[in-house]
A and B are shown apart, each in its own frame.
Chain A
Amino acid sequence: MSIFIDRNTRVLVQGITGSEGSFWTNHMIELGTQVVCGVTPSKEGMEVNGIPVYHSVERALRNHEVDASMIFVPPKLTKDAVFEALSNGIKKVVTMADGIPLFDMVAIRHEALKHNAVVIGGNTSGVISPEEAMMGSFPHWIERVYKRGNIGVMTRSGSLTNEVTAMIVKQGYGVSTLIGVGGDPVPATRFAEMLPYYQQDEQTEAVVIIGELGGTMEEEVAEAIEMGIFTKPCVAFLGGRTAPKGQKMGHAGAIITGGKGDVEDKIKALTKAGALVADRPSRVGLLLEQLNVAKK
C-alpha cells in the first residue's frame, strides 16, 4: 500500500481548466489516479478530458464524493483555494504553486492544523506513488526516475528530486510514495509530520530525505527517529553543505540564520539519530544497500 493517495483516492482538481491544470490532470489520470471532478469559477458545464467542471467546490461536492483536492491555481489565489477545500471538509490537499506569499503560507498551515487536515506544499511537485496514483506534476513516464518500489521519499525540492530519485532507481531500488513538502520557508506540512505514515506503511522499508540548508525540518526528522516515532532505515541527502553563511541561496526556505539551518548541524543531528547522510546524490542508493535494504 502507498500512503496519502492510492487507486481508490477520489480527487477533485481546483484550477482544472488552466494550461498546467489540464495538462497534469491528464497525466494524473494516465497514471491511474481517480480524478472525479474539477473546479474553476465561471467554467461550470465544461469538461476536461471527460471530467466535469463546477463553479465551486461546494457545487462539485453535491454531485461527487471526494477524498482529496489537487490545487493548480496561481500563487496569489492559492490561499483562497486551500481555504475553500478545507472549509468543505476535504482533509487531503496538495497545492503546487511556486511563489505563495509567506503570510499566506502561515495562514494555510494554521488553517490546516485547525481542520485536522494534511495540506502538502506549496512550491512542490506534489505526491506520487509510482504505478498507483499521483497528485501533482511528475514526469512519471521517465522510468529511470519513477519506478515502483519500497523506498519512501520526502523532499523540499523539484529538480533535485528527479536527480536523487534517478540515482535510487539506478541502484536497483524503486519508490513507494514520494512526498514533496516543498521549498517554502513555511511549508504547510513538515517532514516529521509525515514520518508516522511511512512508519505504518507496509510497502515502505526505508525513507530517503532530500533536504537542504535552512530551517529545522531535518533536525525534526532526527528527533522523530530518536524518539522512536520512526524506526525504519533512513538515508538523507542535503544540498548546500558548502553554501556561504547568511546568503539566501536556493529555495526561499534555504537560508542560514540565527545559528540554525547550517547543513553541518543537520548532518550531526541525523547521524547521531542513526540515519546515514549521503554527500552526493549518487551515494544515496549505495547507503541504502549499506543499510541492507532489500531491493523490491
Chain B
Amino acid sequence: MKLYEYQVKELFKNAQIAIPKSQLINNVEQAPAAFSSIGFPCVIKSQVLSGGRGKAGLIQFVKDEKKGLEEVARLFSLPQKISTLLIEEAVDIAHEVYASFTIDPVSGTALSIVSATGGVDIETLAIEQPEKILQTKIDMSLGLQPYQASHIAYECGFDVDIAKKFTQLLLKLYRLFVQYDCELLEINPLFITKSNELVAGDGKCSIDDNSMFRHEDISVPLADIENEAERLAMEEGIPFIQFDGDISLMCAGAGLTTTVYDLINYEGGTVANYLEFGGPHYKKAMKAMEICLKVPSKVILIVTFGTIARADVMAQGIVEAITKLKPDRPIITCIRGTNEIEAVETLKKAGLIPLFDTEEAVRLAVALAKEAKT
C-alpha cells in the first residue's frame, strides 16, 4: 500500500526525522489561514499517489498570497479531483541527498540505497551514473549497525558534522522501515540546509500489503480514489488495473492473467482492465463482475485454471453474477481446473458456451471486440 506524502511525513515526524513546517488543506477556504501560518515563499504540493508530480505541474512554488490562492484554486479544480494539498515552507537548501531502504530478493537482505546526488529520479541515476549510488546489504536478523550507517555517511563525502547527523537519520529511517514492513521507504530529496540541518523534503513509503494486519493504525483514505471500479476493487482487495482498451479481463491466477494480457496484445486486441480474482478471492465472482461492468469495454473475458480456486465454485459464481447483474456485453468463459466437468455443466445450463483453450478464448474476445467497434 502506497502512502500519501503527508502520511509519510507524519511517520518521519514521529520518528524524529525533521520535515518542513507544513499544513494540509482540503478546500480553497482553508488556504488563507494555512498561508498565514506557513508564510512565504512556500510550496503547494498536491497529494496524489502517482509519481512525476513536478513535471505534471502538481507542485507549485509561490512567493505571495495572490499567486498562492490562484494556484490552490487551479489545483482543486483539476479534472483528477485532488482532495488534499500540502502547504509547506520553502526550505533554504544547500544540497540534496537521496536515501532509501528496500529489500534485495537475491541475498534476502535489506538494502540501503544512498546517493549524495539527491532530488533526481534514482532509477535514471542508476542507469546513467551508477557510480554515484551507494548500495549496502543489511542482514535483517541483525539490523542496520551504527558502523554501517556511519561508513555510508563518510563514503558520501559529507563533512564530520553532516556525517554524524546523517548516520543518526539513517538509523532512524531503518527502524521505521522495519517497524512498518516497508517494501520501500525513501527520502528524496533529503535537504541539507544552509544551516547544516537535515530535512526530509519528500517521502515515499510503500507498505507490504501482506503485513497490513500488523499495521492497523495505517490506512489510505479510499474516498480519495476517484475511479469507482478502482475503489471497489481496493475495498475487496482484488488486484485491478484499468487501461483504455476493449477487453475486460476477469481472470484467476496472477501469472495466467498476465499471460492472457500478453496474448490479447499479440492478437491485436487491447485490454480494458486487468482483474485477478483467484487465490483468496475465487468466491467473489459477483464483485469481480460488478467491477468489470464499471469499466467501459466491449467484451468480458474470463479465463481460469485453478486448483484451490475451484472451477465449479467460480462457474457457479459467474452464473449468479450474470443472472443478477445482467451484463450489457458478451461474456467469454474458459474455466478449467479442479472440478472442471461440473463447471462446464453449470455454464452450459446457463446458456454460456464454455471454451477450454485459452488461446481460442483470446482470439474470440479480440474478434468480438473488433466486431463491436464496427
| Contact assessment for A259 and B307 in the assembled complex, using a CB-CB cutoff below 8 Å | no
B207-221: CB near A (< 8 Å → 1, else 0) gives 011110110000000
| Contact assessment for A183 and B307 in the assembled complex, using a CB-CB cutoff below 8 Å | no
Number of chain A residues close to chain B: CB under 8 A: 60
Indicate which residue in A98, A215, A281 contacts B358 across the interface (CB closer than 8 Å). A281
| Contact assessment for B306 and A158 in the assembled complex, using a CB-CB cutoff below 8 Å | yes
Contacting A at CB under 8 A, from B285-319, are 304-309
| Contact assessment for A102 and B307 in the assembled complex, using a CB-CB cutoff below 8 Å | no
Closest approach, in angstroms, between the C-beta of B132 and any C-beta of chain A?
14
CA distance A113 to B259 in the complex (A): 32
Question: Which B residues are CB-close (under 8 A) to A281?
Answer: 259, 358-359
Question: Which A residues are CB-close (under 8 A) to B209?
Answer: 252
CA distance A137 to B337 in the complex (A): 12
CA distance A107 to B141 in the complex (A): 7
Closest approach, in angstroms, between the C-beta of B320 and any C-beta of chain A?
22
Indicate which residue in A110, A159, A186, A216 contacts B305 across the interface (CB closer than 8 Å). A159
| Contact assessment for A106 and B254 in the assembled complex, using a CB-CB cutoff below 8 Å | no
| Contact assessment for A258 and B126 in the assembled complex, using a CB-CB cutoff below 8 Å | yes
For residue A109, CB closer than 8 A to chain B, the reply is yes
CA distance A243 to B241 in the complex (A): 11
For residue B158, CB closer than 8 A to chain A, the reply is no
Closest approach, in angstroms, between the C-beta of A34 and any C-beta of chain B?
22
Indicate which residue in A76, A213, A242 contacts B213 across the interface (CB closer than 8 Å). A76
| Contact assessment for A110 and B210 in the assembled complex, using a CB-CB cutoff below 8 Å | no
| Contact assessment for B258 and A103 in the assembled complex, using a CB-CB cutoff below 8 Å | no
| Contact assessment for B211 and A103 in the assembled complex, using a CB-CB cutoff below 8 Å | yes
For residue A249, CB closer than 8 A to chain B, the reply is yes
Question: Which A residues are CB-close (under 8 A) to B276?
Answer: 250
For residue A162, CB closer than 8 A to chain B, the reply is yes
Question: Which A residues are CB-close (under 8 A) to B213?
Answer: 76
| Contact assessment for A102 and B126 in the assembled complex, using a CB-CB cutoff below 8 Å | no
For residue B127, CB closer than 8 A to chain A, the reply is yes
For residue A233, CB closer than 8 A to chain B, the reply is no
| Contact assessment for A138 and B210 in the assembled complex, using a CB-CB cutoff below 8 Å | no
CA distance A253 to B254 in the complex (A): 10
B123-164: CB near A (< 8 Å → 1, else 0) gives 100110000000000011100000000000000000000000
Contacting A at CB under 8 A, from B356-370, are 358-359
| Contact assessment for A258 and B103 in the assembled complex, using a CB-CB cutoff below 8 Å | no
Query: DSSP majority for the A interface?
Result: loop
Indicate which residue in B178, B304, B305 contacts A103 across the interface (CB closer than 8 Å). B178
Look across to chain B and name the residue whose beta carbon is closest to the beta carbon of A210: B255
CA distance A259 to B127 in the complex (A): 7
A167-205: CB near B (< 8 Å → 1, else 0) gives 000000000000000010111001000000000000000
CA distance A41 to B127 in the complex (A): 51
For residue A247, CB closer than 8 A to chain B, the reply is yes
Known: A113-B108, A252-B210, A281-B358. A156 touches B255 (CB 8 A): yes
Indicate which residue in B105, B110, B265, B336 contacts A215 across the interface (CB closer than 8 Å). B105
For residue B56, CB closer than 8 A to chain A, the reply is no
Question: Which A residues are CB-close (under 8 A) to B110?
Answer: 106
Indicate which residue in A157, A161, A247, A280 contacts B241 across the interface (CB closer than 8 Å). A247
| Contact assessment for B211 and A102 in the assembled complex, using a CB-CB cutoff below 8 Å | yes
Known: A98-B280, A99-B280. A159 touches B337 (CB 8 A): yes
| Contact assessment for A239 and B183 in the assembled complex, using a CB-CB cutoff below 8 Å | no
Question: Which B residues are CB-close (under 8 A) to A106?
Answer: 103, 108-110, 140
Question: Which B residues are CB-close (under 8 A) to A216?
Answer: 105-106
CA distance A49 to B316 in the complex (A): 29
Closest approach, in angstroms, between the C-beta of B99 and any C-beta of chain A?
16
Closest approach, in angstroms, between the C-beta of B76 and any C-beta of chain A?
28
Closest approach, in angstroms, between the C-beta of B258 and any C-beta of chain A?
4
Question: Which B residues are CB-close (under 8 A) to A242?
Answer: 261-262, 265-266
Indicate which residue in B106, B123, B241, B338 contacts A258 across the interface (CB closer than 8 Å). B123
For residue B28, CB closer than 8 A to chain A, the reply is no
| Contact assessment for B253 and A240 in the assembled complex, using a CB-CB cutoff below 8 Å | no
Look across to chain B and name the residue whose beta carbon is closest to the beta carbon of A108: B108
Question: Which B residues are CB-close (under 8 A) to A215?
Answer: 105
Question: Which A residues are CB-close (under 8 A) to B279?
Answer: 98
Known: A98-B279, A158-B307, A159-B278. A103 touches B262 (CB 8 A): no
CA distance A254 to B306 in the complex (A): 19
Closest approach, in angstroms, between the C-beta of A253 and any C-beta of chain B?
7
Counting from the closest, the 4 A-B pairs by CB-CB distance are A159-B253, A157-B255, A160-B255, A109-B108
Can you list 21 A-B contacts (CB < 8 A)?
A: A101-B211, A102-B103, A102-B183, A106-B108, A125-B307, A155-B255, A160-B253, A160-B255, A162-B306, A163-B259, A185-B103, A185-B105, A190-B106, A240-B259, A242-B266, A249-B274, A250-B257, A251-B254, A258-B123, A258-B126, A281-B358
Given contacts A102-B183, A240-B259, A244-B243, 19 further A-B contacts (CB under 8 A): A20-B308, A102-B103, A110-B108, A138-B307, A139-B307, A142-B337, A157-B253, A159-B278, A160-B259, A162-B305, A162-B307, A163-B305, A163-B358, A240-B258, A240-B262, A243-B261, A250-B257, A251-B254, A254-B258
Q: Which residues in B have some Cβ–Cβ distance to A below 8 Å?
A: 103, 105-106, 108-110, 122-123, 126-127, 139-141, 178, 181, 183, 208-211, 213-214, 241, 243, 252-259, 261-263, 265-266, 274, 276, 278-280, 304-309, 336-338, 340, 358-359
